[in-house]
Amino acid sequence: MHADKTNRSLLIFLAILLTAAGALGLITGFGVFGSDLQHRPLTRNRVGAFIGRDGDWLWPVVAVVVLLIALLALRWLLLILTSTDRSGDLRIRSDSSSGIRGKTTLSSSAVTAALSSEIESYRGVHSANARLIGNPDDPTLAVDVTLQQSANLAGVRRRVETEAFTHVRQAIGSPELPIRLDLGVSTKRPARTV
């Protein structure tokens, strides 16, 4: 899902790195590691001496490591830009007792469009939108329903849960299909009848 967990982990790592680098530089400048180091130029230390002494072989190695890091960063960028949480088409389990072999897939858009249409046909529903998310073998149905302000909120919810969700579970042959229903209320005021 757009590498959200990776994004957060790496941004936390970056935040710790920046804070630690800043704190280390600041306390060095204040002489915590001795006044000798405090008065030395930034590159006159063990690391600087090592780079100066072994630069001949060190820089090509650094370039190779940086190339690997840049490739990983490119993969990360592509994940952010292209990945999706949608699960794709559904694989329907075949009935082994029937003796018929084959693979059946059900278009997820067909399932979600049928469900959305059914829910939108209910009185009190302003709009509905459904999508299958997660692992294609064990998907979750995510449904967003916007209710009209004048709707019987509890009644419509109960109808969506007991009718529309029962129908979709029957249609795809998965009575245990996990469903996440997000209910909203339309900001449009109902027209007044005079």
Shortest Å distance, C-beta 95 to another protein: 22
Q: Which of 114, 123, 159, 122 is nearest to 141 (CA)?
A: 114
Question: How far is residue 37's CA from residue 32's CA, in Å, rounded to a whole number?
Answer: 9
Question: How far is residue 66's CA from residue 72's CA, in Å, rounded to a whole number?
Answer: 10
Shortest Å distance, C-beta 126 to another protein: 11
Please name every residue paired with 90 in a beta bridge, in sequence order, or none if there are none. Answer: 106
Q: Does 49 bind another protein (CB under 8 A)?
A: no
Q: Does 23 bind another protein (CB under 8 A)?
A: yes
Point out which span in 63-71, 92-100, 106-114, 115-123 binds another protein (CB under 8 A).
Answer: 63-71
Query: Residue type for 53, please?
Result: R
Query: b vs e for 113-151, b when ≥16 Cβ sit within 10 Å of the residue's Cβ?
Result: eebbebbeebebbbebbbbbeeeeeebebbbbbbbbeeb
Q: Does 69 bind another protein (CB under 8 A)?
A: yes
Q: Does 18 bind another protein (CB under 8 A)?
A: yes
Q: Does 113 bind another protein (CB under 8 A)?
A: no
Which residues from 161-180 bind another protein, rule CB under 8 A? Answer: 161-162, 165, 176-180
Q: Which of 192, 86, 187, 175 is nearest to 129 (CA)?
A: 86
Closer residue to another protein, CB minimum distance, 128 or 177:
177
Question: How far is residue 111's CA from residue 143's CA, in Å, rounded to a whole number?
Answer: 12
Q: Total residues contacting another protein (rule CB under 8 A)?
A: 69
- Kindly list the residues in this chain that would bind another protein in the complex (CB under 8 A): 2-4, 6-8, 10-12, 14-23, 25-26, 28-31, 37-44, 59-60, 62-63, 66-67, 69-70, 73-74, 76-77, 80-81, 146-147, 149, 153-154, 157, 161-162, 165, 176-187, 189
